[in-house]
Homo-oligomer: A and B are copies of this chain.
Amino acid sequence: MNAGKKSERRISIRFDLASGPRIGPGKIVLLEAIAETGSISAGARRLGMSYKKAWLLIDAFNNTFHEPVISTETGGEQGGGATLTETGKEILRLFKKLETEAGSATEATRKAFDDLVKAPPGKKK
């Protein structure tokens, strides 16, 4: 049984921007979901997140960077679509790079943690 979309990452990183706000998988996963579904509401639904929470996260995100991360079109028949701006795409790209870098750099140490773990029991509990 998979633990759901939020937990697919084997390693997850959060970090503070120099200006204060924290960037982490929660916001990034939402950006990805919006990019893939083309709307904030569909992206939020996919993550089991309320529209309001998604909107607040995006609003904070939009106000963090030079430019908004999401561009929304209002008033259409579809109720408004949302696409990632160039800044939004760059943030996703950088975050994946960061995850890869951190994953590679910590591989031996994570292995050392695994060596401290007891052998999995024969029966799942």
Residues of A within 8 A of B (CB): 10-20, 23, 64-66, 87, 90-91, 94, 97-98, 101-102, 104-106, 109-110, 112-114, 116-118, 120
Q: Which residue of B lies closest to A116 (CB)?
A: B65
- B11, B109, B117: the one within 8 Å of A18 (CB): B117
Residues of B within 8 A of A11 (CB): 13-16
Chain A's interface: helix, strand, loop or mixed, by majority? Answer: mixed
| Chain B residues within an 8 Å CB radius of A91 | 113, 116
Least Cβ–Cβ distance between A71 and chain B, in angstroms: 16
Q: Are A13 and B106 in contact (CB under 8 A)?
A: yes
Contact of A90 among B12, B98, B116 (CB under 8 A): B116
Contact B117 A66 (CB under 8 A): yes
A105 and B109 in contact (CB under 8 A), knowing A15-B11, A118-B66? no
- Among A11, A97, A113, the most chain B Cβ lie within 10 Å of the Cβ of A113
